[in-house]
Amino acid sequence: MLLKPPADSWPTFNGDYSGRRFSSLDQINASNVSQLAPVWVFRAHSAAIKSSPLLVNGVLYFTTPDNVWAIDARFGREIWHYHRASQGDHIGQRGVGIYGDWLYMTTPDAHLVSLNAKDGSVRWIIQLADPKLGYFSTMAPLVVGNHVITGVSGDVTDIPGFLDSVDPETGKLQWRWYVEPKPGEPGSETWPKNSDAIAHGGGMTWMTGTYDPGLNLIYWGTGNPNPVLVGEARPGANLYTCSIVALHADTGKLAWYYQTSPHDVHDWDSVETPVLLDGTIDGKPRKLLAQAARNGYFFVVDRETGEHFVTSEFIDTTWASGIDAQGHPIPKPEDAPRPDGALVEPASDGSTNWLAPSFDPSTGLFYVSAHRVFSIFYKTVSGKAEGWGGRDRGLWSNSAIRALDYRTGKVAWSHEIGDGESSAGILTTAGGLLFTADNDGNILALDAASGKTLWHLNAGGDMENGPITYALDGRQHVLVAIDDTLYAFALPVSR
């Protein structure tokens, strides 16, 4: 099911391993989407739902921090609810992974919980990292073969990032890949010698990656280096932070990497979804990986080798003076944080963030929720910095859905969605539709080829997850979360 998800399922965070968030369902399409109507509503009475629900065997599984629900996908009725109180950062929870009859959820205190999918009973709980050091976890695990791949969060203190693979049956660690290489390993030369900076370098792995079964490679985005917003004590590119990495699924060994923001000093994680697509570059068929990164640039590389093809701005930025031979934006030195402040676009929140992008193979367009956001970056420490060595103060922002040609990175169309930074992910379908939300509480269905609004409904809140779609009993549903409530939509039944 994970390799070839059927129409009645959504078995992993992005629907399938590619990260495209594209569905082949077309019962709901551009000609009839204006008739879309709610068919059921489920309120969690909890924190905002940032998770993408999974759907397996007619049951939806979704999360908020400390909580998992199983509900009937046809009627929105609760089947079971699991709660585990924990300490730690409750900023969000992005979903579960599933393997056979077992669910896997990460927690605010950096644990991994395995539950019975049938009744929510606990199978085992393991600790991924020590929460007392500042670790926590929000991501939805990625299940690949007999591996449950999990990442960690945390940049309040200077701790190293890593990615774990654990046995789905026992929870035993199979392999661990550290974002910072050990001294003497390839990449360590991008950190200062005779310094402890590499041991405390950050690079959290807090979003779900993607996987190519043919190459048996997993692709993951890594976070910013520590100390945050200051880089004097860590000269160099600081590998493998702010990078897209390809790892061998069975061993965790690095196959290749591409760094989107060498020596980051603006908190521009590169954890955004590495989307896998097959396309043509310079007249040749290629297996590609595309990412719209937090720094405001769109990157396309070869997913077999990491060879670089495309770098382009997908929305306005001010911080780079050009692009180098490897496709890296060249930072302006004067835009680094300083005591009297540096005006930079984008802010530390980025030109996009963890919000799910999408790729539609029929249009050849990559879709991203893009932000114009200005901020003043201040350096707030003197001497050796730890954790946060600066802060930024946002001044103004607005958002748009941008459609990008993967071959060139050029913007094919732009749909404005209002003042502020969007929190909504994107779904595209073979019905020629793009589902998302604007900043005024409207759920939107856009024409995927042109960006024109075809349907909207004001739900009176914020979408903070990625929509999903599925077909049960021959009827296609679109599922979105608004605040703490799930809404399922479908076309009216003919009578």
> In the prediction, which pLDDT does 495 show?
62
Instruction: Give the residue extent of every domain in the chain.
Output: 22-490
461: exposed, middle or buried (C-beta count within 10 Å: 0-12, 13-18, 19+)?
Answer: middle
Residue 240 preceded by cis peptide, ω within 30: yes
Question: What distances in angstroms separate CA 304 from CA 65, 258, 282, 311, 464, one per listed residue?
Answer: 36, 12, 17, 18, 32
> In the prediction, which pLDDT does 9 show?
97
Domain 22-490 grouped into CATH 2.140.10.10: yes
Which pairing describes strands 22-23 and 427-429: parallel, antiparallel, or unpaired?
parallel
How do the pLDDT tens digits run along the chain, 495 residues long?
Answer: 889 999 999 999 999 999 999 999 999 999 999 999 999 999 999 999 999 999 999 999 999 999 999 999 999 999 999 999 999 899 999 999 999 999 999 999 999 999 999 999 999 999 999 999 999 999 999 999 999 999 999 978 889 999 999 999 999 999 999 999 999 999 999 999 988 999 999 999 999 999 999 999 999 999 999 999 999 999 999 999 999 999 999 999 999 999 999 999 999 999 999 999 999 999 999 999 999 999 999 999 999 999 999 999 999 999 999 999 999 999 999 999 999 999 999 999 999 999 999 999 999 999 999 999 999 999 999 888 888 999 999 999 999 999 999 999 999 999 999 999 999 999 999 999 999 999 999 999 999 999 999 999 999 999 999 999 999 999 999 999 999 999 999 999 876
The model's pTM: 0.97
287: exposed, middle or buried (C-beta count within 10 Å: 0-12, 13-18, 19+)?
Answer: middle
Q: Give the pair of three-digit tokens for residue 361.
A: 């193979």
If we measure between CA atoms, which residue out of 426, 438, 439, 437 comes closest to residue 469? Answer: 426
Catalytic residue ranges: 267
Secondary structure (DSSP) of 188-221:
GGGS-TTSSGGGG-B----S--EEETTTTEEEEE
> In the prediction, which pLDDT does 157 show?
83
> In the prediction, which pLDDT does 156 show?
81
Residue type, 54: L
